[in-house]
């Protein structure tokens, strides 16, 4: 059976799950969530995921939420991209969640998808300061190795890159981080790789920003 | 052998790992990290954990970082607190990391451990707004159940409570969230439970704030 993934193009968190399935050869189909018109906060979506977030994965009666949980499930089911040390892979998933994507997603949202007048003062600058420390950890880590958690790509790579291919500016410039830059090139050279806007439905050209989220 | 945990009392992230070991009966001893004098950013500590964060766990030659990774390891080793559905437990660990503790830790730090003049404008207010949404998800979830991920306590409970027992004000008031309040009471009634300042060395009375972090 084909897995379903509730997602939308702008979501780096959904991208992590979609990219993992795509590269692992796990058959899946997207279910578009109209986030920018509030669908993720609707009662129907909250019934699917009370956390009010994409991605949501469903297959054969199993429903999973949180990108890392979906990534781990797909890696275990397909036998691909777990890496040789699950703890090492897992710790970078956690790092990504609270220090990298957990700040990059909100920073990008504030700076690109909210009208300037609705941006909470100082928030994006604060997030960018924290992000700089996270980029430095990752860039230093990649200065001596090709991939984050093993000698080959793992779901940790597909997590940490979640927001780093998007074109909207949020303070991340590949030129500032040469090892991250090289590693992103290596990810996008993997067979089957797709940019988030090519992998999932919906992108900024579809609409104007309408709602805080 | 006794596990070592690099930690300090103010760290809710370290508390999650310490509380899990304490309640699971996993023998451990704390190694104090002088965070407020910059030890977590020192070369010696970075050699232990390049991410520059507590907690760090070490036992029998195995080094683990990231609280959730340590919690999962201890749950697997002791056979306690994993819950009957690992995916469900794991998704609440992820929720905690990016929406709850991942915001509560910085908010509490900004409002209590930085001199007012050094606080980035607007940051704490922004984090508090995001936290309110996370408290609501958790409070609603606990309105129909005693524990987060199973019918008994799991490491998901010991993660989500990480910052919620501390006395320093950061905008979380138990009175506002009755189901969270009842659940925190149930956690603190578990045999062997200890408050973070009783479980780990170091607390605000030891020192005055000296350094941004």
**Domains present along chain A, CATH in parentheses:** 3-80+195-206 (3.40.30.10), 86-188 (1.20.1050.10)
* Residue pLDDT, tens place only, A83-93: 999 999 999 99
In the predicted structure, residue A66 carries a pLDDT above the cut 70: yes
Question: In the prediction, which pLDDT does B212 show?
Answer: 52
Distance of alpha carbon A108 from alpha carbon A119, whole angstroms: 11
Residue A145 CB neighbours (<10 A):
12
* CB pairs A-B closer than 8 Å: 83
Residue B211 is predicted with a pLDDT of 52
> What is the reported pLDDT for A11?
98
The nearest CA of chain B is from the CA of A22 a distance in Å of: 21
pLDDT band at A56 (very low <50, low <70, confident <90, very high): very high
Contact between chains at B94 and A66 (C-beta distance less than 8 A): yes
Asked if omega into B48 is within 30° of 0 (cis), the reply is no
Residues whose CB falls within 8 Å of the CB of residue B133, separated by 6 or more in sequence, listed in order? A52, B99
Whether residue A59 contacts residue A4, with contact meaning beta carbons closer than 8 Å, is answered with yes
B133-184 pLDDT, tens digit each: 999 999 999 999 999 999 999 999 999 999 999 999 999 999 999 999 999 9
Q: What pLDDT is attached to residue B213?
A: 47
Tokens representing B62 are 């195995």
Residues with Cβ within 8 Å of B118's Cβ and at least 6 positions away in sequence, in order, are B212
Contact assignment for B90 to A69 by CB distance below 8 Å: yes
What pLDDT score does B206 carry?
86
Length of chain A: 213
Does residue A8 surpass a pLDDT of 90? yes
State the DSSP string of B9-34: TT-HHHHHHHHHHHHHT--EEEEE--
User: Is the omega angle on the peptide bond into residue B174 within 30 degrees of 0, that is, cis?
Assistant: no
Q: Does B119 touch chain A (CB under 8 A)?
A: no
| A contact test, residue of B55, B66, B72, B111 with most A CBs within 10 A | B66
Which residue in A has a C-alpha nearest to residue B141's C-alpha? A50
Is A153:A81 a contact under the CB 8 Å cutoff? yes
Alpha carbon distance A108, A197 (integer Å)? 15
CA distance A177 to B197: 39
Please report which confidence band the pLDDT of residue A211 belongs to, taking 50, 70 and 90 as the band edges: low
Q: What is the CA radius of gyration of chain B?
A: 17
State chain A's mean pLDDT as an integer. 95
Residue A116: pLDDT band by 50, 70, 90 thresholds? confident
A65–chain B Cβ distance below 8 A for any pair: yes
Task: Using alpha carbons, list the distances in angstroms from residue B81 to A41, B96, B149, B156.
Answer: 31, 16, 10, 8
Nearest to B87 among A51, A69, A129 (CB): A69
> CB-based burial of residue A67 (10 Å sphere; 0-12 exposed, 13-18 middle, 19+ buried)?
buried
C-alpha span between B16 and B213 (Å, rounded) = 20
Residues in chain B: 213
Within a 10 A sphere around the Cβ of A62, how many other Cβ atoms? 10
| B202 closest CA partner among B90, B35, B64 | B35
Taking the C-alpha atoms of residue B188 and residue B190, their distance in angstroms, rounded to an integer, is: 6
CA A47 distance to own-chain centroid: 23
Asked if B159 and B67 count as a contact pair (C-beta separation under 8 A), the reply is yes
Q: Are B108 and B100 in contact (CB under 8 A)?
A: no
Distances (CA, A) of B28 to A194, B22, B118, B130: 46, 8, 36, 34
Q: How confident is the model at residue A208, as a pLDDT? A: 57
Distance from CA of A189 to the nearest CA of B (A): 27
- Tens-binned pLDDT, residue by residue, of chain B (213 aa): 799 999 999 999 999 999 999 999 999 999 999 999 999 999 999 999 999 999 999 999 999 999 999 999 999 999 999 999 999 999 999 999 999 999 999 999 999 999 889 999 999 999 999 999 999 999 999 999 999 999 999 999 999 999 999 999 999 999 999 999 999 999 999 999 999 999 999 999 887 555 554
Say if residues A1 and A61 touch (Cβ distance below 8 Å).
no
């Amino acid at each position: 059976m084909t897995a379903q993934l509730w997602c939308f193009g702008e979501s780096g968190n959904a991208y992590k799950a979609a990219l993992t399935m795509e590269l692992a050869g796990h058959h899946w189909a997207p279910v578009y969530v109209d986030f920018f018109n509030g669908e993720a906060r609707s009662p129907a979506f909250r019934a699917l995921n009370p956390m009010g977030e994409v991605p949501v994965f469903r297959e054969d009666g199993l429903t999973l939420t949180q990108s890392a949980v979906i990534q781990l499930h797909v890696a275990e089911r397909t036998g691909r991209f777990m890496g040789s040390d699950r703890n090492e892979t897992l710790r970078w998933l956690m790092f990504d969640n609270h220090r990298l994507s957990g700040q990059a997603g909100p920073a990008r949202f504030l700076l690109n998808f909210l009208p300037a007048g609705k941006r909470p003062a100082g928030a994006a600058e604060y997030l960018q300061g924290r992000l700089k420390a996270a980029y430095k950890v990752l860039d230093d880590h990649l200065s001596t190795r090709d991939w984050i958690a093993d000698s080959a790509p793992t779901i940790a790579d597909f997590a940490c890159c979640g927001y780093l291919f998007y074109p909207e500016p949020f303070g991340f410039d590949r030129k500032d981080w040469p090892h991250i830059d090289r590693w992103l090139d290596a990810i996008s050279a993997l067979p089957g790789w797709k940019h988030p806007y090519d992998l999932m439905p919906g992108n900024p050209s579809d609409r104007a920003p309408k709602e805080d989220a």
